[in-house]
Structure 1
Amino acid sequence: MAVALPAVVEELLNEMAAAVQESARSKEVFLFSRLKFVFGSSAIQALDLVDRRSVTLISSPSGRRVYQVLGSSGKTYLCLASCHYCSCPAFAFSVLRKSDSLLCKHLLAVYLSQVTRTCQQLSVSDKQLTDILLTEKRQE
């Protein structure tokens, strides 16, 4: 990951990726329980988003990448995995303002969908990606 998460989270995600790659189901269950220990109820909510295939990687020819997560409320949030950012209110409040969470459920879902290889993919033009980003900015 380009910008390091706290070491324990980064190690946990790396171990989960290895377990998925090895198809080690029992190890995955153990790691998911550790994930719940670290993130609490956000882990369950993030796993639900992954199970519902709510995470889409949007990429453009220039190499820009943004993740779109369809939240449980039906609202779509933009996540930038490269800098650990989500446009949801919970991220602004719990992660940035109060510092009582490492990630929101949407950003955790992005990382989990990468690990489990369940992220949907969408290629768009650079102009379309710019429009997506500008639309999100206007909605804030």
Structure 2
Amino acid sequence: MRATLPVVVEELLSEIASTCRDLAKVPDELLLALKFLFGPSAVQALDLVDRHSVTRISSPSGRIVYQVLGSSGKVYTCFASCHYCSCPAFTFSVLRKSDSLLCKHLLATYLSLAMGVCQDLSVSNKQLAGILLAQEDPEG
């Protein structure tokens, strides 16, 4: 079962996806809506999208995770199916304080998917397990 975002966020992402298919850009009114909902994280997430920092990693098992190269150069793992990111900001602002819906990495993941600019990488099941365990794969 897939966890859902608040309806307003789901609708905004859907509208961004639809507009990007038609116009190949995000109109100002949708950018303002993003800024209204997510504050400064929206601008930071859009910067990550512009830098093509989001990679969808899939394996033969059908599992999919996302890795986002953060602005600090550190890579964070995101799970879109349950709205989770491994970054400290997610733990603090989303989980502990509940003052944000998403961190910039997770928002960048959703925006990259909506805008069709997510990088794709296929790996073996063993390599994906290594990524999830944050271990370096001895074969790679």
Q: Same fold (TM over 0.5)?
A: yes
Please give the alpha-carbon distance, in whole angstroms, between the structure 2 residues aligned to 1:89 and 1:82. 19
Q: Secondary structure at the match of 2:134?
A: helix
In the alignment, structure 2 segments of 5+ residues that lack a partner are 136-140
Corresponding residue for residue 35 of structure 1:
34
Shift of residue 2, structure 1, vs aligned partner: 2.9
In the alignment, structure 1 segments of 5+ residues that lack a partner are none
Name the Cα RMSD after superposition.
Answer: 1.5
Corresponding residue for residue 9 of structure 2:
9
Please give the alpha-carbon distance, in whole angstroms, between the structure 1 residues aligned to 2:24 and 2:12. 15
Please give the alpha-carbon distance, in whole angstroms, between the structure 2 residues aligned to 1:73 and 1:22. 33
Identity of aligned pairs, percent?
69
Give the TM-score taking structure 1 as reference length: 0.92
Corresponding residue for residue 44 of structure 1:
43
Q: Which has the higher helix share?
A: 1
1:16 aligned partner, one-letter code:
I
Q: Does 1:119 align with 2:121?
A: no
After superposition, residues 1-140 of structure 1 pair within 5 angstroms as 2-23=2-23, 25=25, 28-135=27-134
Runs of 4+ with deviation above 2 angstroms: none
Q: 1:21 to 1:134 in 2, by over 3 A?
A: same
Q: 1:44 to 1:24 in 2, by over 3 A?
A: same
Please give the alpha-carbon distance, in whole angstroms, between the structure 2 residues aligned to 1:28 and 1:10. 17
Shift of residue 24, structure 1, vs aligned partner: 6.7
Shift of residue 29, structure 1, vs aligned partner: 2.1
